[in-house]
Structure 1
Amino acid sequence: MTGYAVRGVTGFAVAAGLLALLCTLQLLSLWRSPAAWSPAVIFVDLEPGESITLGQQELAAPRADQQHLGLRRDASGRWFARNVSGAKQLLLQRGAREHRAGSVALAAGQRFRIGATLFSVDAVDAVDAAGAGAVSFSGGGQRWRYDGATLLRDGSAQPPCLNTAVSGRLAAAWNRLALPGLTLARPLTFGGNLYCGNRLGLGHVEPGSATLARVDGLLLLSSGSGARAPLMLAPGAGAIEIDLARIEVPLEGVTSLVAGHTRFAVRSDGKALQLRPASHVALFSDARVALPPQVQWQWQQRQAWALTLILTLTKGSGWWVAPGLCCALALWGALAWQRGRWPFVREVGAGVRAASFGAALLAIAGVGALLLARAGTPPGAGISLLLGCAALWCHLLLPGRLALATAAGILLLAVGLLAQLELGLGAMESSWLRHYQKTTALLAIGLGIGALLRLRMQGGTRAPMLAQSRLEWMLGWLASAALAALLLQVLLGDETGVFDLQPVELAKLALTVLTAHCIAVGLGWDAAMPERARPSRRWFRLAAPALLFIALLGLALVQVDDYSPLILLVVWSMAMALAWSIASRRHAATGAVVALACLGVAAIAWLRNAGDVSQLASQGSFYADRFLVWLDPASHPHTGQQLLLGARAIAEGGWWGPDHLLGITTLGQTAGSSLHIPQVQDDFAPSFFINRHGLFGALALWTLQVLFLVGLLQTAARSYAASGTARDFRQAWVGRLHCFTLCGGGAFVLGHFLLSWGTNLAIFPVMGQPMSFLSAGGSHLLFFICPLLTFSAISAQSPEEI
């Protein structure tokens, strides 16, 4: 015991020292970052009858065109706006409704021309409260009817387009059968040579030259972006046609507008128009920029320790909101402490109660920071730094044994926070820091809730062991929620998720735990128990994960453009098969799994060296393009820009980083050309990390990743060994459940590591998977990594400790 205690103290000291170093490096990055200025308010002062064109420079909008927004003030003082850009959109918001400039609600008697084809609007049925409404128009010798979901050509729906995904075909079939108020909105596009689905083909007209869509109860006709055929509109027969994209829109009632991804709050004080940029704002090293005489900026400096919303409220009548929230939170904590409510139960010691209170405050602070970020007023980078470091230290300092997986996971999270902070501070645009701010908020939520669960298990008031039947109901509900979320993604979302979430991460967690439970039950099955020996019940228990696995497989084939989810599922399946074969001592199955893994590695090496995919290329498929870019990215500079820019960033980093000191002197400084890598905050985060800290830094990161996986396997092996010596079958089942859950979670993390490093180092074709712990936080962090860390820490405790 003494030797173990010494090793435990030494391990904790090493982990605490490394975590303190990484937190200090974050603070050093923030301290060394140069001053950054941005416009808080843009004032546009025009005389009646005067007009002006604003663009990227005047709007501080990095992604806007050089000439994007046209503003005019008429003789009566009213303001009008129009889209001057021919390639990008201008969005206007009135209340809760957002629409594009150059959009118009169709009315009977109007006429519009696209290319050489003239259309006449015959009738418009207004969209009612149930969502039903349609427009009938004629043109090109045919009659059309569109209800916001389905296009009818001479009274009949068109066949689906050949390249329509399965999700699109299902949505089209649903729209033809469902009641008008239950249909899914699907836009009608004009252009191209095909009549199919919701496409209205027009000869010699580019696809997407115009769209007709149901938006907030209106059927809006909009011109397309880019080099499209102009959309000409005439209010009636004989009226002069005007280009719809150039139509001026009055700014009365407009609360905000978006130009080039930069959102502006709009306000007029009678003479001047005020534009307040809220996101994707350009940053400047000095509060000076050349502007037209009609435009003035009110400058603000980036504040690392500011709470923007609180500062705004305290300047107005809502000054009491911030202290009121603090007092309410303190009162809630005091009442919970006095009454002994969970997590402040009376039977536990004062230390555990204080830790529970701190963990609850941490989770609440994370929710508050996330809500502030969603409202467009995120806390300063310094406050996010304190929040993230508090979450990491909270997880490290909790009572109980510090397992290798917990220590390595915390250090990996700290490395990821450092990389994301460097990325945010190194970009001269305000939106890059939101990745770091979001990650710290999600860490506070996930690790705060996880700390409460750990303290609940260690608090001395542990509830009786959860029965298998009750756990099966819980897992059933979890699997049902995951399946419903996957269905929503197929119907309403895309490969990036739905409602700003990734349901696949929740499905991976449900699949891991459900499969682990079924394997744990199967290995400990006792035929002497008649109530558990019914074939139907046994089949349900042992084969329940199949439905969830098939759903994930179907989503990977239907919704995602690349095959990275398939690789993840293959890695997970082989790892679970290997764990089961070792646990059940089926050596033939173990050898077969190892042989399959070796064959997979050999196939990748052969394909990489063969260099001949001519047969695949002749098919012209998406996957063939991926392989061609992978084998020869220089010949495909546009589609291969991720590989090319990533390789250039890695080469610039070298072994010791650009400063030959592992990037220590570049902390907080500009990120340079590595920011131009597409998805550098997600899929290509390793390329940025190597660019800043060199290959030796990457080797240290690889070591931590290996230690994390080894720690998971070590804890899984201890849990399985404990199940073999348990005197109660429930304890044996819990031990096996812990073992196979950790094996499954580690398999998914290993898959993310392999795919991410393989993509960045050109071992595999480009496949979009973030690197666990390093890439910007999101659903993967909240729904998978944080639960896995919490479960690993709980599994590492012996029965006496919990």
Structure 2
Amino acid sequence: MMAISLRFSSNTARATPQARRTPFSVADILASLSDAAARNAGLAATIAILAALCGLQALALLHAPEAWLPAAITVKLAPGESIVLGQHELAAPQADRNHLSLRRDAQDGWMLRNLSASRQVVLMRDAGEQRMGSVPLQAGQRFQIDSALFDVQAADAGSVTFSRDGHEWRYDGAVLYRDGRQQANCPQSHVASKMLSFWNRYAPGVLTISRPLSFGGNLYCDNRLGLVQVTPGAAQLARSNGRLQLSAGNPDGDRAAVLVLNGGVQSDLRKQEAALAGVNAIVVGHTRFQLNADADRLTLKPSRHIKLFGGPELKLPEQVSWQWQQRALWDDGHAKAVWIGLATSIACIAAGLAWTAVRVRGGAANLGMLPAAGCVLATGVIALISQRAGYAPSAASSLLLAACSLLLWLALPGRLTLLAAASVVLLAAGLLAQLELGLGAPESSWLRYYQKSAALLAIGLGLGAMLRLWALRQAARGTHLRQRSIEWMLAAFATVALAALAAQVLWGDETGVFDLQPVELAKLALTALTAHCLALRFNWHSGPQRLAEQGARWLQLIAPALLFVALLGLSLVQVDDFSPLILLLVWSTVMAFAYAVAARNHKLAAALIVMALTAAGAIVYLRCVGTDDLIRWGFYADRFLVWLNPAEHPHTGQQLLLGARAIADGGWLGADHWMGLRSLGMSAGSAVHIPAVQDDFAASFFLNRHGLAGGLLLWVAQAAFLAGIVVSAARAYKAGAGAGGFRHAWSGRFRYFMLCGGGAFVLGHFLLSWGTNLAIFPIMGQPMSFLSAGGSHLLFFLCPLLAFSAISAPSLEGE
């Protein structure tokens, strides 16, 4: 098999016998760094901008006002006494005003009841979780929804069978059967719902996708069990903690009584009361409380989503007392290991720079940064694990970790490219915006986005740095990967991506699975497979001519199409908007244009340009025509109606209206008229109330804080990043076109298509996010690359793309 390599070379020459190996001083290091900066003005400018952005983050921490929160909430009740607690008493921002009732019973001890009509209370025991207002069904029980009475005939972990009015119903967590037959699809069901119903009917039980059974309404269809004069959604039956549990629903209309009859005991799920004996923690409105119950007092220690106060003073009921603590921005508390890792990382980076400064002409200089990359990676892992364990690192240590990661990326051997410089600036600007949002929000949990982004950035850039150093070493040794090895690696990558997508369909939702977004990994796999196959396509005529081998090559070329279909199916089944479809359309158009340029197919290139202009004209047309013709579009029409007339849809158009108001308040110079410099670390104001402001509407907060002038600077950096992608791709295409052998030609073409595909996805994110925030497009949920707090997008797409581009850039110098 012909060998194919991605060649790498450094801009440093080989070591000579005269290379300096004598002891060095700090002055020598500083002089070498000064000479290097003088020789590379771009590097000096990038370091200056990075230092300014990191300095603004440090200034935000210094300017942040004092904030207080309860470390413990103590409730004292006499036997037989009760109290109602809610948002104010629990410091739980997302709880109702009167959310739960606590009662101290003389015999059963502390008792709890959920008073909220729309938000649940979760009790956490060693044996599992219990959602208030729900109960697992058992054989022999009866349950009643309003006046409809059902008899439970059989129930286990897999299914439950019940009967009413001569009909037998069986529900297995995914499909509802009436008298042994699956119900038909509901009228006007979407394609995604029909596909899901078809899959659940014929797939094995372990592969079915869970769907709740809804009681109420007038329709018997799909997973709806109609009940006359009962509001749809009055009750639900769904799988939870490995059991099928009946719970009181949250209908839009009048609420129906949901009763469970077990022998002679009758309980109303809407008024369910549970004993706190054996309960370790409760979750109220997304705020988690550790419980410690004594004879006459109950102590709740809140964590996550805690309301912040300007001072340790608050009027509380007589039975409730708080133990105050101040928000810590500099002290890590239990996360001391992060500071140890940071100190080690800084020392390793300094030692690596010193080693490089002394061995200025040696290939061994490339090895000096390897310990630094390993330390940054390990510190990022420690920070992420600490945060997931409940001991998040401080904002100051996260700032230092992010700065070390970006400095490491700039300090690695190789010439700085426009793409690398722009990406470092965009990453630092995004971290600044996330820190400002975390400090300006009125609750403690908002800082977690900044802390998570800093940890993931350290992991991504640490891995990328080690990969770059490995590539440089491979190039120095003259070794390369064979084509068969590359194809096996791409096949394994695609398999992992498809398995992750399947996991999201089976166990996740449109927000991801296991706190991850597999679609980001799938986008990278799709781009890599497509780049490989398009690179092979240009040498199709020089390949094997036997029929069997031709068939194998065709399978190689259609592999990206299979992954594309999988992504398309996920978009239709799991996502409620059409943003993934638009993203895939942008990517397909750019890849087709890149192919047309490489193949010198001017007709195809012209057709794609006309198509893009037509799409832009269609947007203008929709703006001018109005909404009369959109009503018949069905499901997706709602988003267009909200986009065109948000004032007529104040509820669904809340994001658009609040985002527009925040941008208008920012003006040209920001809400503080100083491009956000005077408001660093201060309150974020009403902008924090924009739904998904940390993700989809991060640009609205940025424009509110830093104004359109700051937005223009951000656009310049984004344009520089895309221009850097184009320049690197053009150089790769030129290297491939001018190569003398198949190996070098494939390598250049692969880098060309890979960079074009990765840049196309980033362009799509920029277009969708700016279009959503500026009301150019209907609301579509996609994070803005580099700016939004999208952890999976950063770790699984942006960091690998930056690593690949950095590895490809020096390889072009040697070809």
Structure 1 residue 55, shift from structure 2 partner: 0.6
Structure 1 residues 417 and 801: CA distance shift in structure 2, 3 A = farther
- Aligned partner of 1:188 among 213, 224, 247: 213
Q: Is the 8 A contact 2:69 2:308 kept in 1?
A: yes
1:476: how far off? 1.3
For 1:478, the aligned partner's letter is F
Q: Separation in 1 of the partners of 2:729 and 2:181?
A: 60
SS of equivalent residue, structure 1 residue 286: coil
Give matches, 1:567-716, under 5 Å: 567-611=582-626, 613-619=627-633, 621-716=634-729
Partners of 2:215 and 2:233 within 8 A in 1: yes
Per the TM alignment, residue 597 of structure 1 is displaced from its structure 2 partner at its CA by 1.6
- Partner Cα distance (1:296, 1:589) in 2: 72
Deviation at 1:89, TM superposition (A): 1.1
Does the CA contact (< 8 Å) of 2:341 and 2:376 recur in 1?
no
Alignment of structure 1 residues 110-121 onto 2, 5 Å: 110-121=141-152
1:407 has 2:432 as partner: no
Q: Report the CA distance shift for 1:165/1:491 in structure 2 as closer, same or farther (over 3 A).
A: farther
8 Å CA contact retained: 1:93, 1:256? yes
Q: Residue 477 of structure 1: SS of its match in structure 2?
A: helix
Task: Provide the C-alpha distance between the structure 2 equivalents of 1:236 and 1:511, rounded to a whole number of angstroms.
Answer: 54
Q: Is the contact between residue 118 and residue 140 of structure 1 (CA under 8 Å) also seen in structure 2?
A: no
Q: 1:233 aligned to 2:259? A: yes
1:224 aligned onto 2:237: no
**What is the distance in 1 between the residues matched to 2:582 and 2:566?**
15
Of the three residues 547, 553, 559, the one matched with 1:538 is 553
How far apart, in 2, do the equivalents of 1:551 and 1:653 lie? 41
Match among 126, 134, 137 for residue 95 of structure 1: 126
TM-score, length-scaled by structure 1: 0.90
Residue 370 of structure 1 is aligned with which of 361, 381, 384? 384
Work out whether residues 23 and 389 of structure 1, in 8 Å CA contact, stay in contact via their aligned partners in 2. Answer: yes
Partner of 1:145: 170
CA shift for structure 1 position 229: 2.6
Equivalent positions of 1:779-794 (< 5 A) are 779-794=792-807
Q: Alignment partner for residue 115 of structure 2, among 59, 84, 87?
A: 84
User: Which residue identity lines up with residue 177 of structure 2 in the other structure?
Assistant: L
TM-superposed deviation, 1:717: 1.2
Identity, in percent, stands at 56
Counterpart of 2:22? none
Q: Matched residue of 1:797: which SS? A: helix
Kindly state the Cα deviation for residue 325 of structure 1 after the two structures are TM-superposed: 9.8
How far 1:626 moved relative to its partner? 1.3
Paired residue type of 1:649: A
What amino acid maps onto 1:102 in structure 2? G
Cα pair distance change 1:449/1:326, threshold 3 Å? closer
Over residues 345-402 of structure 1, what are the superposed CA-to-partner deviations in whole Å (9 max), with x where a residue is unaligned? xx99665434111111111111121122222321111111111111111111111100
Whole-Å separation in 1 of the counterparts to 2:791 and 2:131: 29
Residue range with higher mean Cα deviation, 211-220 or 669-678: 211-220
Residue in structure 1 matched with residue 496 of structure 2 by the alignment: 481
1:266 aligns with 2:301: no
1:718 pairs with 2:731: yes
CA contact (8 A) 2:381 2:455 kept: yes
**Per-residue deviation, 1:534:** 4.1
Tell me if the contact between 2:341 and 2:379 (Cα under 8 Å) persists in the aligned partners: no
Q: 1:41 to 1:368 in 2, by over 3 A?
A: same
1:135-174 pair list within 5 angstroms: 135-162=160-187, 169=194, 172-173=197-198
Q: Tell me the amino acid that sits aligned with residue 278 of structure 2.
A: G
Between the two structures, name the one with larger relative contact order (CA 8 Å, sep ≥ 6): 2
In structure 2, which of residues 222, 229, 235 is the aligned counterpart of residue 204 of structure 1?
Answer: 229
Match of 2:101 among 52, 70, 79: 70
1:565 to 2:563 alignment: no
Matches of 1:407 and 1:323 in 2, distance apart? 27
CA deviation string 1:643-689 (max 9, x = no partner): 11111101100001122211100010000011111111111111100
My pick for the range that moved more, 514-523 or 351-360, is 351-360
Distance change >3 Å, CA 688–CA 323, structure 1 → 2: closer
The residue aligned with 1:729 is 742
Query: How do 1:347-358 residues align onto structure 2 when only pairs under 5 Å count?
Result: 351-358=365-372
Residues 160, 171 of structure 2: 8 Å contact kept: yes
State the shift of 1:501 in Å.
1.7
Q: Distance in 1 between matches of 2:391 and 2:147?
A: 48
Q: Structure 1, unaligned stretches of length 5 or more?
A: 312-321, 338-346
* CA distance, structure 2, for counterparts of residue 537 and residue 285 of structure 1: 68
Query: Does 2:395 correspond to 1:381?
Result: yes
One-letter amino acid of the counterpart of residue 273, structure 1: L
Rounded Cα–Cα distance in structure 2 between residues aligned with 1:741 and 1:107:
56
Q: 1:606 offset after TM fit, Å? A: 2.0
More moved, 185-194 vs 629-638 = 185-194
Aligned amino acid, residue 229 of structure 1: R
Q: Deviations over 1:86-107 (max 9, x none)?
A: 2221111112522211222334
* Change in CA separation of 1:686 and 1:295 when aligned onto 2, cut-off 3 Å: same
Name the amino acid aligned to 1:589. L
Give the match for residue 517 of structure 2.
502
Q: Which amino acid aligns with 1:231?
A: A
When normalised by structure 2's length, the TM-score is 0.89
1:113–1:417 distance in 2 versus 1, CA, 3 Å: same
The equivalent residue for 1:775 is 788
| Structure 1: distance between partners of 2:564 and 2:203 | 29
Q: Match for residue 246 of structure 1?
A: 271
Whether contact under 8 Å (2:338, 2:383) holds in the other structure is: no
Match 2:82 to one of 51, 74, 80: 51
CA displacement at 1:160 relative to structure 2: 3.1
Q: Which amino acid aligns with 2:296?
A: K
Q: CA deviation at 1:484?
A: 2.3
CA offset digits 1:404-436 (Å, max 9, x no partner): 000000100100000000001000111111111
- Structure 2: which amino acid aligns with 1:280? H
Looking at structure 1, the residues matched to 244 and 534 of structure 2 have their Cα atoms a distance apart, in angstroms, of 53
TM-fit CA distance, 1:472: 1.2
Which stretches in structure 2 are left out of the alignment for 5+ residues?
1-10, 13-34, 353-360
Change (3 A) 1:205 1:414: same
Q: Distance in 2 between matches of 1:663 and 1:738?
A: 40
Aligned-pair distance for 1:323? 11
Number of the residue aligned with 2:314: 289
How many Å separate the matches in 2 of 1:178 and 1:581? 42
2:410 counterpart residue number: 396
The aligned amino acid for 2:562 is: L
**Does the CA-based 8 Å contact 2:338-2:382 persist in structure 1?**
no
Match of 2:54 in 1: 23
Structure 2 counterpart of 1:418 = 432
Superposition deviation, residue 462 in structure 1: 4.7
> Retained in 2: the 8 A contact 1:194–1:201?
yes
Alpha-carbon offset, residue 257 of structure 1 = 0.9
Count, aligned residues: 767
Structure 1 residues 758 and 149: alpha-carbon distance in aligned structure 2, compared to 1, 3 A threshold: closer
Give the superposition deviation at 1:691: 0.2
Given the alignment of the two structures, is residue 430 of structure 1 paired with residue 444 of structure 2, yes or no?
Answer: yes
Q: 1:60 aligns with which of 83, 87, 91?
A: 91
Cα pair 2:670 2:708 within 8 Å, conserved: yes
